[in-house]
Amino acid sequence: MTEVLPQFKIVTPDCVEAAIAALAGAPDARACAGGTDIVVALRKGLSETGTLVDLTGIAALRETATGADGGMVIGAGVTLAAIERMPEIGERYPAIARAAAAVAGPTHREVATLGGNLCLDTRCVYYNQSHWWRKSNDFCLKYRGDTCHVAPQGNRCRAAFSGDMAPALMAHGAEIEIAGPDGTRRLPLAEFYHEDGAAHLALNPGEIVVAAHLPPAGGVSDYAKIRVRGAIDFPLAGVAVATEPGSAGTTFRIAVTGTNSKPLLVDFPDALTGESNADAFFAAMQKAVQKAVSPQRTTTIAPHYRRLSVSALTARVARGLVGLAA
Amino acid sequence: MKRVVSLTVNGREVEDIIPDNLLLIDYLRERRGLTGTKQGCDGGECGACTVLVNGRPRLSCVTLAASCAGAEVETVEAQAHGGRLSALQRAFHENLGAQCGFCTPGMIMTAEALLRDEPDPDEDRIREALGGNLCRCTGYVKIIRSVRAAAEELKA
Ligand SMILES: Cc1cc2nc3c(=O)[nH]c(=O)nc-3n(C[C@H](O)[C@H](O)[C@H](O)COP(=O)(O)OP(=O)(O)OC[C@H]3O[C@@H](n4cnc5c(N)ncnc54)[C@H](O)[C@@H]3O)c2cc1C
Ligand code: SF4
Ligand code: FES
Ligand code: FES
């Protein structure tokens, strides 16, 4: 009998508390939701575990609800296929529906979850390879090796966060709800991530993501990504933009993925008004994105190209939102 | 760890002792002898291993067999009945939707799920639904034509 995966046992908690107990009880326990990232990682020897905690039996994680503030709460176990098809999300938070539809292929999205997407491992051409490939390269700093092949002088991993959902949620001002042995906590999604490819999540042992909380949407939004293959591929870079109409004009919340070890909120406070020179405004926006991102040699596509294209893509998406031609 | 798992495979109820770390594709191919399902990549990239779990398409190479307890699993072997090819199989055969044939079981099972859901999909919908299934031979045109032909036959 072929043994493709290492030995582990599966536990199937039916409530959040039991999942936390299972994760906190074994230091090498790992959560598994749709499995489209973690099972691949186990196959390739990128992760080891003695206990796989299957979260799919927890009904509470699969719920969506209207938030107390009139916004929306999406459970961590809701599948991307469901998010993509939910009319309420498509109407109120279009960037989120668009991002969900842009993740992997349709068969992945049948099982892939929001929580798994937010907790997706960072990616790098020297890392997402088979065991023998990495071994022949003496592994790398992120896992089992001591040198980073992307930035050999540096002492941290530059692998890129490559999830599509995080920027869409960040552009809509989402908070993430986390449950663990010490209770539950909520933080702005941007604070859930660190700029460190080997430890990019602010998740303590025994903690799981329970839900994302979205405030009511003020304006319109969209998500776009560049990738090598149109049908199924991680973003070389992706950007979500949401408008915020106000008395002093329209402001834009911009969040980018695929360029850094964490998804980034780009600081661009300028407001677009009737008096603005639109071309100058969007050129400034493009500059702000170029300055904020720092793509590294973690994909087969040159960092400079990714920097230029994600900034151009931002301006294109933002112009589209206010009805201007790209 | 191992566990006793009951599930339905191609309409037959089975009970098996399944190790926790066994993948669905290896269970189907090696335990059940259902070698129609193909492994085309080293995990989650190609769609060749697509089977149906409770009627929805699923990549069996990234699915743990133990997680299918109580589920209904269907493979390409469930397509033909009494020696007669299914509409999809016949359409792939007649429209040259299969060349080397390696991607075909995954294509057919993904298309099967689509047609059950939407009996009359247009070309764009077919392209979208098959977006996760790679083919190195046909250039896809004949595959899309095959799915359309099957839809036509099922309509008639
Ligand atoms: C060919 C291919 C293409 C892909 N393309 C894309 C793409 O374009 N964009 C993209 O974003 N992703 C892509 N992915 C990655 C993956 O399919 C998605 O990110 C998916 O959403 C992961 O969700 P999951 O439920 O399957 O996660 P899992 O694999 O179950 O889990 C992923 C990680 O999250 C952790 N986790 C899961 N749920 C929780 C929780 N509730 N709390 C805490 N930790 C949790 C797991 O421990 C694991 O570390 C691709 C994968 C493949 C194989
Ligand atoms: S950035 Fe460096 S340390 Fe990180 S995965 Fe790539 S090669 Fe390894
Ligand atoms: S074998 Fe499952 S996706 Fe390639
Ligand atoms: S027919 Fe050969 S891979 Fe599709």
> Do B21 and B73 reside in the same domain of the chain?
yes
Q: Which two tokens stand for residue A293?
A: 């991102």
Question: Å from B143 to nearest chain A CA?
Answer: 16
Which of B48, B61, B129, B68 shows the shortest CA–CA distance to A109?
A: B129
The architecture that CATH gives domain A223-321 is 2-Layer Sandwich (3.30)
Cα–Cα distance list, B93 to A131, A259, A298, B110 (Å): 38, 45, 42, 17
The answer on B115 and B94 residing in a single domain is yes
Which of A27, A26, A43 minimizes the C-alpha distance to A35? A43
The shortest CB-CB distance from B129 to any of A39, A52, A106 is to A106
Ligand nearest to the CA of B142: 4
Three-state DSSP at A1 gives coil
| pLDDT digits 0-9 by tens, B79-135 | 999 999 999 999 999 999 999 999 999 999 999 999 999 999 999 999 999 999 999
Domain ranges of chain A: 58-214, 223-321
One-character DSSP codes across B65-129:
GGGGTT-EEE-GGGS-BTTB--HHHHHHHHTT--SS-SSHHHHHHHHHHHHHH-SS--HHHHHHH
Pick from A8, A37, A119, A229 the residue to mutate for probing ligand 1's pocket: most ligand atoms within 8 Å of its CB. Answer: A37
**B73 in the same domain as B104:** no
Are residue B26 and residue B61 in the same domain, yes or no? yes
Q: Does pLDDT of B26 surpass 70?
A: yes
Q: What is the DSSP letter of B60?
A: G
Residue identified by tokens 């999300």 is A89
Please tell me whether residues B8 and B60 are part of one structural domain: yes
Query: Is residue B69 located within the same domain as residue B122?
Result: no
Q: Do residues B15 and B57 both lie within one domain? A: yes
The CATH number of the domain where B94 resides is what?
1.10.150.120
Does the distance separating the beta carbons of B131 and A52 come in below 8 Å? no
Ligand 4: which residue has its CA nearest to atom 2?
A: B100
Q: In angstroms, rounded to a whole number, what is the distance separating the alpha carbons of residues A23 and A20?
A: 5
- Specify the residue for token string 């939910």: A86
Q: Do B45 and A10 touch (CB under 8 A)?
A: no
Question: How many contacts (CB atoms, under 8 Å) link A and B?
Answer: 83
Instruction: Report the pLDDT value the prediction gives residue A2, as an integer from 0 to 100.
Output: 61
Same domain flag for B135 and B72: no
**Predicted local distance difference test score (pLDDT) of residue A191:** 98
CB contact at 8 A, B8 and B1: no
Residue A178 exposed, middle or buried by CB count within 10 Å (0-12, 13-18, 19+): buried
Residue range of the domain that includes B26: 2-78
Which whole number is the average pLDDT over B27-39?
Answer: 98
A257 bridge partner residues:
A238
CATH class as words, domain A58-214 = alpha beta
Q: Is the dihedral of CA B92, B93, B98, B103 positive or negative?
A: positive
Q: Which of B55, B78, B101 is the last residue of a domain?
A: B78
**How many domains, in total, are found in chain B?**
2
Tell me the DSSP string of A7-67: P-EEE--SSHHHHHHHHHHSTT-EEESS-TTHHHHHHTTS---SEEEEGGG-GGGG-EEE-
Question: Same domain, yes or no, for B104 and B144?
Answer: yes
**pLDDT tens series, chain A, 326 aa:** 567 899 999 999 999 999 999 999 999 999 999 999 999 999 999 999 999 999 999 999 999 999 999 999 999 999 999 999 999 999 999 999 999 999 999 999 999 999 999 999 999 999 999 999 999 999 999 999 999 999 999 999 999 999 999 999 999 999 999 999 999 999 999 999 999 999 999 999 999 999 999 999 989 999 999 998 888 999 999 999 999 999 999 999 999 999 999 999 999 999 999 999 999 999 999 999 999 999 999 999 999 999 999 999 999 999 999 999 87
Q: Are residues B49 and B74 in the same domain?
A: yes
